Amino acid sequence: MNAVNHQIRLAARPVGVPTPSDWKLTTEAVPVPGPGEFIVAVAYLSVDPAMLTWINATSSLVEPIAIGAVMDTAAVGRVTSSDHPEFEVGDHVYGAFRVQEFARSDGDGVTKLDPLLAPLPTYLGALDITGLTAYFGVLDVGRIREGDTVVVSGAAGAVGSVAGQISKIKGCRAIGIAGGPEKCRWITEDLGFDAAIDYRSEDVGRALREHAPDGVDLFFDNVGGEILDTVLTQLARGARIVLSGAVSQYTPDQVRGPSNYLSLIGARASMIGFLTLDYAERYPQARAELAAWLREGRLISREDVLEGGVPAFPDALPKLFAGENIGKLLLAVP
Amino acid sequence: MNAVNHQIRLAARPVGVPTPSDWKLTTEAVPVPGPGEFIVAVAYLSVDPAMLTWINATSSLVEPIAIGAVMDTAAVGRVTSSDHPEFEVGDHVYGAFRVQEFARSDGDGVTKLDPLLAPLPTYLGALDITGLTAYFGVLDVGRIREGDTVVVSGAAGAVGSVAGQISKIKGCRAIGIAGGPEKCRWITEDLGFDAAIDYRSEDVGRALREHAPDGVDLFFDNVGGEILDTVLTQLARGARIVLSGAVSQYTPDQVRGPSNYLSLIGARASMIGFLTLDYAERYPQARAELAAWLREGRLISREDVLEGGVPAFPDALPKLFAGENIGKLLLAVP
């Protein structure tokens, strides 16, 4: 049995994307449960673009993670010892277990998982916050109607890939913007997007005019920057731009406002910000619907699972900003 | 009787704010009405920031005014001769009579005015498109609720001054941003705004934190640029930013996107574009309500009337972009 617990702690406050020297790998004894507590052996860790906003000092949304603290993240794992009445050894669980191999918990915020209903990684994929962000962002914030033309940036990412698929399920036309032929092939051939635009090799404006000649009804934006500016010139009347994120803008030196924002006037369009956690009361209903679509094969959740365990975390996070991964980025913990 | 008709025509397509050499003053005979037509002697001409978007080539909203054409504008005047069954000599009328002393009309788009109900200039002020823009922008697009904190930029301008007053009528707290002590004094002492921020002498961000400590519920933006970026950092949850215009951004070399637009996410806020003309069916109802507020003294319409007639138009328009005028800018035609 593994006698030690490896952890990744924040060692310095990075500006922009952190480098390995911003992290410290520490070793502790595997924790022992106190009264009413249990221990989880983490199996998969979530790696998310929003982590930059948790560690950079510039965010106003969240209290930044303290220097020396174990890095936050959502994870799934299995209970290995327990003094908690509701959690038994062998239970599969989901929680904010942080970037470490073993977590001690009193059960607060922890949910039990059914590994027969969906594979464990999917609980960090389409059934987790990224899938829920796509769900509420497209349906509630974006208010799509059948026949709408929906454009998704970061379309091969964890949120974007689900957003486009939900649009298709609801009878919309889905156009994805992604980087590189592999991602473009995946979203059209495997996920059923109507069209893909490779922003690395194509003129996005020209491609949009071709694929969305009547304009864009919903732009679900995960990227920001130049792509947002281009889509702003192609809005249909009454269009909604849902700000799901802005992966190109999380590093302060890159922040750039959309210079074409006045196009919102002529299009009678809205740019709308939202936070998924506002919909927490409806997570169970949304998860049930997402799970049903997964079972029916109408929704595909792809997890990009990296090996290497907790020590590989510092190298994993930058992949999100280099556009290297397809689907939800996870780290397997052996 | 005046035997000639002076007109201002576009002589060159300017980039940004036009200079006098971009215009040509021409002289024609006073027109004679054909069958079903009448002639209007123009009394007041409207001078508007949006004119830049009509003459610059960059606008996608409207077909630009052709070189050599008489400049468009709304105007009020009196019928001087008529072969039209519904318009008699002496009738006061409103219409798109263009920048000239006499206009020939078949009555299309022309409305009769009651000079006893409101002074003629007010029909180009609070009762015209600028007042209607404030009305629909604040009430329909901005969806204000009693108790909201409303911030208005360009608060001493034609649209902004009415927007702030409507907010007060509806039980909101109104904070105006304007340039210079005279404008700030006018909006607080005469119009009843709760506070004014002089962007020329004050730190707008600090002043906003003082006057709107719980954040801004509605930002009615006529200006754009740096002020928009500052207000974006002070939004209350669920805030609306209504894009009424962007007087700082009408010249292409100045266009600058709001780099703080991602603040919309944390605030769950929206940035909304609209065009007043979409509410044309409700103009009569809105005008009646605005006229009632004017009669009751709850709404003040201030017109900044320049002398000099049609030949003074080339010098009048730039005043809007130099922040020189208070209220609605008009040109009196003798």
Residues of chain A with Cβ-Cβ distance to B278 below 8 Å are 268
Minimum CA–CA partner of A60 in chain B: B266
Q: Do B243 and A224 touch (CB under 8 A)?
A: no
The shortest C-alpha distance from A279 to chain B (Å) reads: 12
Residues of chain A with Cβ-Cβ distance to B276 below 8 Å are none
pLDDT at B50: 85
Cα gap B310→B6, rounded to integer Å: 7
Residue A250 has pLDDT above 80, yes or no: no
pLDDT at B76: 97
Quick one: pLDDT band at residue B44, thresholds 50, 70, 90?
A: very high
Interface with chain B: mutation pick from A220, A234, A261, A277, highest number of B CBs within 10 Å: A261
Q: What's the burial of B189, exposed, middle or buried (CB within 10 Å: 0-12/13-18/19+)?
A: exposed
Q: Do A275 and B260 touch (CB under 8 A)?
A: no
What is the value of ipTM here, to two decimals?
0.86
Under CATH, which architecture does the A4-125+301-332 domain have? Alpha-Beta Complex (3.90)
Q: Do A60 and B261 touch (CB under 8 A)?
A: no
Q: How many CB pairs under 8 A join A and B?
A: 95
The shortest C-alpha distance from A254 to chain B (Å) reads: 10
pLDDT digits (tens, 9 = 90+) for B128-158: 999 999 999 999 999 999 999 999 999 999 9
Cα gap A263→B271, rounded to integer Å: 11
User: Hey, what CATH class is B129-277 in?
Assistant: alpha beta
pLDDT at A327: 86
Quick one: pLDDT band at residue A59, thresholds 50, 70, 90?
A: low
| Mean pLDDT computed over B304-327 | 92
User: Among B262, B264, B273, whose Cβ lies nearest the Cβ of A265?
Assistant: B273
Most confident of A116-130, B69-83, B246-260: B69-83
Segment 268-287 of chain A within 8 Å of chain B by CB: 268-275, 278
pLDDT digits (tens, 9 = 90+) for B166-180: 999 999 999 999 999
The shortest C-alpha distance from A130 to chain B (Å) reads: 15
Sketch the domain layout of chain B as residue ranges: 4-125+301-332, 129-277
pLDDT at A41: 97
Percent of chain B with pLDDT over 70: 94
A123 and A113 Cβ atoms separated by less than 8 Å: yes
CA distance to A68, A301, B87, B91, B107, per residue, from B84 (Å):
85, 70, 6, 12, 8
Say yes or no: B260 contacts chain A, CB-CB below 8 A.
Answer: yes
pLDDT digits (tens, 9 = 90+) for A264-323: 998 999 999 999 989 999 998 999 999 999 999 999 999 999 999 999 999 999 998 888
- Tokens 């936070």, residue located: A275
- Torsion sign, CA atoms A51, A56, A60, A62: positive
Segment 170-229 of chain A within 8 Å of chain B by CB: 224, 229
CATH topology match: B4-125+301-332 vs B129-277 = no
A205 and A232 Cβ atoms separated by less than 8 Å: no
Mean pLDDT lowest among A13-22, A61-70, B72-81, B232-241: A61-70
- The continuous run of DSSP H or E covering A263 comes out as helix A263-267
Q: Do B224 and A262 touch (CB under 8 A)?
A: yes
Mean per-residue pLDDT over chain B, rounded? 92
